[in-house]
Amino acid sequence: MSETTPRGQEYEQVLSGASQTVAQFDDHKKGFVSRLQHFLHSNPSMVPLIVLVISTLGLGLYIDWEPIKVMTGMARLEDVNNGSFRFFAPFTLSLILQQVQIVGVLALAQTLIILTAGIDLSVGAIAVLCSVIMGKLTFDYGLPPFFSILLGLAFGTGIGAVSGYLVSRVKLPPFIVTLGMWQIVLAANYLYSANETIRSQDIEASAPLLQFLGTSFAFGSAKITLGVVAMLVLALILAYALRSTAWGRHVYAVGDDPEAAELAGVDVHKTLMSVYMLAGFICAFTAWVMIGRFGSVSPSASTGVLGNIQSITAVVIGGISLFGGRGSILGALFGALIVGVFELGLRMAGADSQWTYLLIGFLIIAAVSVDQWIRKVSG
Amino acid sequence: MKNLTKTLAMGASALAFSASMALAGGHSTTVCLITKTDTNPFFVKMKEGATAKAEELGMTLKAYAGKIDGDHESQVQAIETCIADGAKGILITASDTAAIVEPLKQARDAGLLVIALDTPLDPIDAADATFATDNFLAGLLIGQWAKATLGDAAADARIATLDLAISQPTVDVLRNQGFLQGFGIDLADPGKIGDETDPRIVGSDVTAGNEEGGRRAMENLLAKDSTINVVHTINEPAAAGAYEALKAIGRENDVLIVSVDGGCPGVQNVKDGVIGATSQQYPLLMASLGVEAVKAWADNGVKPEPTEGKNFFDTGVALVTDKPAEGVESISVEEGMNLCWG
């Protein structure tokens, strides 16, 4: 040992010629595209947000081109047909929020289920049935509206619990469970209500609490209803819970790989039950939002039949992976807003409403393609 | 082995039972009622009317319905079942008025009387008779009423029409065009919604005939032009939705909403001032007249005749309002309440 000391450690002498960098991840240096891919991978709600901003600006520029020309001095007020903003008006922009509130809240429930690699076809039907229950309990059985709402919420949670049990314990595929549940709930809705509307005026006179979420505040010409506020608050709460609580991480883990989650000590059954029950609860909450928006209790509301597809559309456009375990719940909200912007914007631009559906079809396919591309992120 | 014997025995007795049922059924005339759905109060009422009349005449009523509006396949299956069942007649509200013609022809060839209820077939003579509301007249009445109620202001009216569906089904077109004609607007092609050039028309949008669609459509049109003051709606739920949208911007009292149908909640809404006037139709009457016609066909081989001057049997329509307008015949809300359905 001592012999070698004076000569210094010979092998160290080559050190100066060698690479001195410490261990690190490979940098593929693919430039902008690669960095974009990484950025989107870690911020899954950015894609829908970008699409939302671009589509809002695009449609607004088209619809309000004349007032914009006037404002920027490109034309004089006398030269244009319409000098006032129609799309970029507080009234219109707040209207979009009001129009998406039902689908928006349903999409939050749908997101929870899809994050666990499931799908829920019954969301809209549960919402409509629960609204009928809230109305019937109040008007046919004379219950105070407060308790009708509580029971309605409990009923929705109960339906969620049944679906959750069938998925998690009986191991039936979520698609099948909720396909059946959709039919059962929707038929029960029609049978129970005999498809008879409870009129807005009757509700207003004897149970205004049912319409509570329809209460609106005006900011200038913008109108925001409590239902919209509830949608935004609920989305933020869920976003926090999914990102920063143990429960939220469990939901992602179960969706990504249930076996790995189980091995890591996550109670998969309990997590799935909690997700389906919470989704059922949110659907029942949508019922309350619906009564607020329509004023009436309407068993024939289109949401019963279309709510599932509309919410899945919002979730998919919102960049949440149908394979589970990835995506941000705020994305679903952006997804719902994108659809809302297109629907109203294209209508105002004078296009046939079929164009809206055609465009949304493209958006769905584009969104899933982008999702697949982001999933391939490497390094 | 024992189990098998038991199963066989049960099967045999079940067969015997159903055979005796069929024999029992064979004594009375069977009439089929096929509706678009069995959830819409309009069809629920129709079924009630048909059931009551069939019972009164000692006939057997078998009711079938599509699962959803537009469910053509279920209706075809129902027709086939009725033919196989030896029914004497079919009363049908067709979902697909053109496609249903062929299966109905088979029924007529098999000697069944085919009566279209509420919705005329395409072509109308594909049925032996049509018992229906004159939807154009229903629209015309509310159009005339709106024009007379506005008086001089009708010349500067801002009109929105809230229609049913993008595909423009016949009933949608008839009500819309009837309304516009009644209001004094040049129709261009009376078979098409939306080709009018009158500047008083702000636009039209579709509602699916429910509150949800009514509210959204009204909002969309208000975003286009907030000065709308006359609103035609395809039915009363759509009207109630439109009212909510107007209420949200504080304009519920200076907009005239007119509608068609005459359901009880709708007539109640006329009473409360939500809807200015509505044209009431009578599904119960359509169904009971239909059952009577099948009875006459089964007993004497007589087919029903259409109303004079029309190619269908008009089951009547009445304008319901508490604010009668000069020159437009109407009944009061109280009378309307007595006649309402659903």
What average pLDDT does the segment B200-218 reach? 93
In 3D space, the residue among A78, A88, A87, A83 whose CA is nearest the CA of residue A66 turns out to be A83
Coil/strand/helix, residue B30: strand
Residue B253 has pLDDT above 80, yes or no: yes
Beta pairing, strands B89-92 & B113-117: parallel
Residues A104 and A96: their CA atoms lie apart, in Å, by 11
How close does chain A come to B237, measured CA to CA in Å? 8
Residue B68 has pLDDT above 60, yes or no: yes
Query: Quick one: tokens of B27?
Result: 């004594």
Between residues B342 and A292, the one the model is more confident about: A292
Residues B240 and B249: their CA atoms lie apart, in Å, by 15
Residues A105 and A285: their CA atoms lie apart, in Å, by 8
Per-residue pLDDT of B36-64, as tens digits, reads 887 778 888 899 889 999 999 999 999 99
Residue of chain B with shortest Cα separation from A303: B212
**C-beta atoms of B39 and A300 within 8 A:** yes
B/e letters for A223-259, b = 16+ CB within 10 Å, e = fewer, are bbbbbbbbbbebbeebbebbeeeeebebbbbbbbebe
Length of chain B: 342
Residue B262 touches chain A, beta carbons under 8 Å: no
Query: Quick one: tokens of B262?
Result: 């005459």
In 3D space, the residue among B67, B60, B134 whose CA is nearest the CA of residue B282 turns out to be B134
How close does chain A come to B211, measured CA to CA in Å? 6
Asked if residue A278 is part of any domain, the answer here is yes
Other Cβ atoms closer than 10 A to A290? 31
User: Which residues have CB under 8 Å from B38's CB, separation 6+?
Assistant: B44, B47, B63, B65
- CB nearest to B211's CB, from A201, A296, A347: A296
Residues of chain B found within 8 Å of residue A298, distances taken between Cβ atoms: 210-212, 237
Residues of chain B found within 8 Å of residue A303, distances taken between Cβ atoms: 212
Residues A289 and A344: their CA atoms lie apart, in Å, by 20
In 3D space, the residue among B247, B246, B237, B249 whose CA is nearest the CA of residue B212 turns out to be B237
C-alpha distances in Å from residue B92, one per residue of B14, B70, B316: 32, 13, 18
Other Cβ atoms closer than 10 A to A90? 15
Residue B248 touches chain A, beta carbons under 8 Å: yes
Asked if residue A53 is part of any domain, the answer here is yes
Residue B178 has pLDDT above 90, yes or no: yes
Is B201 within 8 Å of B130 (Cβ atoms)? Answer: no
How close does chain A come to B212, measured CA to CA in Å? 6
Residue A249 touches chain B, beta carbons under 8 Å: no
- CB nearest to B212's CB, from A195, A201, A301: A301
**C-beta atoms of A201 and B216 within 8 A:** no
Per-residue pLDDT of B279-296, as tens digits, reads 999 998 999 999 999 999
Per-residue pLDDT of B124-173, as tens digits, reads 899 999 999 999 999 999 999 999 999 999 999 999 999 998 888 888 99
DSSP line for A267-310: -HHHHHHHHHHHHHHHHHHHHHHHHHHHSSB-TT-THHHHHHHH
In 3D space, the residue among B218, B234, B235 whose CA is nearest the CA of residue B41 turns out to be B235
Asked if residue A11 is part of any domain, the answer here is no
The reported pLDDT for the residue numbered B22 is 43
Asked if residue A1 is part of any domain, the answer here is no
Query: CA torsion, points A313, A317, A320, A322, in degrees to nearest 10?
Result: 50
Residue B215 touches chain A, beta carbons under 8 Å: yes
Residue A190 touches chain B, beta carbons under 8 Å: yes
Average pLDDT, chain B: 89
The reported pLDDT for the residue numbered B18 is 45
How close does chain A come to B85, measured CA to CA in Å? 27
DSSP line for A350-373: T--HHHHHHHHHHHHHHHHHHHHH
Residues B59 and A266: their CA atoms lie apart, in Å, by 64
What average pLDDT does the segment B255-284 reach? 95
Residue A310 touches chain B, beta carbons under 8 Å: no
Residue of chain A with shortest Cα separation from B212: A301
Asked if residue A94 is part of any domain, the answer here is yes
The reported pLDDT for the residue numbered A92 is 87
- CB nearest to A99's CB, from B40, B205, B219: B219
Which strand (E) or helix (H) includes residue A225? strand A222-225
Residues in B 155-184 with any Cβ partner in A closer than 8 A: 166
What average pLDDT does the segment B192-207 reach? 93
In 3D space, the residue among B185, B187, B190, B214 whose CA is nearest the CA of residue B200 turns out to be B185
Residues of chain A found within 8 Å of residue B249, distances taken between Cβ atoms: 223
The reported pLDDT for the residue numbered A377 is 73
Residue B237 touches chain A, beta carbons under 8 Å: yes
Residue of chain A with shortest Cα separation from B213: A302
What average pLDDT does the segment B5-17 reach? 49
To 10 degrees, what angle do helices A268-294 and B236-248 make? 90
Residues of chain A found within 8 Å of residue B168, distances taken between Cβ atoms: none
The reported pLDDT for the residue numbered A1 is 47
Asked if residue A78 is part of any domain, the answer here is no
Residue B247 touches chain A, beta carbons under 8 Å: yes
Other Cβ atoms closer than 10 A to A92? 24
Q: What is the 3-state secondary structure (H, E, C) of B126-191?
A: HCCEEEECCHHHHHHHHHHHHHHHHHHHHHHCCEEEEECCCCCCHHHHHHHHHHHHHHCCCCCCCC
Residues A353 and A343: their CA atoms lie apart, in Å, by 7
In 3D space, the residue among A109, A60, A57 whose CA is nearest the CA of residue A289 turns out to be A109
Is A319 within 8 Å of A47 (Cβ atoms)? Answer: yes
How close does chain B come to A228, measured CA to CA in Å? 14
Which strand (E) or helix (H) includes residue B62? strand B60-65
Per-residue pLDDT of A276-286, as tens digits, reads 999 999 999 99
Opening angle at CA A114, ends A112 and A116, nearest 5:
80
Residues A171 and A133: their CA atoms lie apart, in Å, by 30
How close does chain B come to A350, measured CA to CA in Å? 9
What pTM value is reported for the model? 0.79
Asked if residue A221 is part of any domain, the answer here is yes
The reported pLDDT for the residue numbered B96 is 85
Residue B10 has pLDDT above 60, yes or no: no
**C-beta atoms of A199 and B240 within 8 A:** yes
| CATH number of domain containing A172 | 1.10.3470
What average pLDDT does the segment B73-94 reach? 91
Is B111 within 8 Å of B125 (Cβ atoms)? Answer: no
Is B336 within 8 Å of B267 (Cβ atoms)? Answer: yes
Residues B38 and B64: their CA atoms lie apart, in Å, by 8
Residues A373 and B3: their CA atoms lie apart, in Å, by 60
User: Which residues have CB under 8 Å from A141's CB, separation 6+?
Assistant: none
Residue B25 has pLDDT above 50, yes or no: no
**C-beta atoms of B247 and A195 within 8 A:** no
The reported pLDDT for the residue numbered B20 is 42
Is B178 within 8 Å of B137 (Cβ atoms)? Answer: yes
Residue B227 touches chain A, beta carbons under 8 Å: no
Residue of chain A with shortest Cα separation from B267: A199
The reported pLDDT for the residue numbered B23 is 43
Give how many domains chain A has, as a whole number.
1
What average pLDDT does the segment B15-25 reach? 44
Residue B210 touches chain A, beta carbons under 8 Å: yes
Q: What is the pLDDT tens value at each position of chain A, 379 positions in all?
A: 445 455 556 666 666 666 666 666 665 556 788 888 888 888 888 889 999 999 999 999 998 888 888 888 888 877 777 778 888 988 889 999 999 999 999 999 999 999 999 999 999 999 999 999 999 999 999 999 999 999 999 999 999 999 999 999 999 999 999 999 999 999 999 889 887 889 988 999 999 999 999 998 888 888 899 999 999 999 999 999 999 999 999 999 999 999 999 999 999 999 999 999 999 999 999 999 999 999 999 888 889 989 999 999 999 999 999 988 889 999 999 999 999 999 888 878 877 767 888 888 998 898 888 888 887 875 4
| Residues of the domain holding A204 | 44-71+84-371
The reported pLDDT for the residue numbered B26 is 45
The reported pLDDT for the residue numbered A221 is 81
The reported pLDDT for the residue numbered A372 is 84
Asked if residue A347 is part of any domain, the answer here is yes
Q: Which domains does chain B have, with CATH numbers?
A: 28-133+283-304 (3.40.50.2300), 135-281+317-339 (3.40.50.2300)
The reported pLDDT for the residue numbered A354 is 77
Residue A269 touches chain B, beta carbons under 8 Å: no
Residues A270 and A274: their CA atoms lie apart, in Å, by 6
How close does chain A come to B317, measured CA to CA in Å? 22
User: Which residues have CB under 8 Å from B258's CB, separation 6+?
Assistant: B142, B143, B145, B146, B179, B230, B231, B232, B233, B239, B275, B276, B277, B278
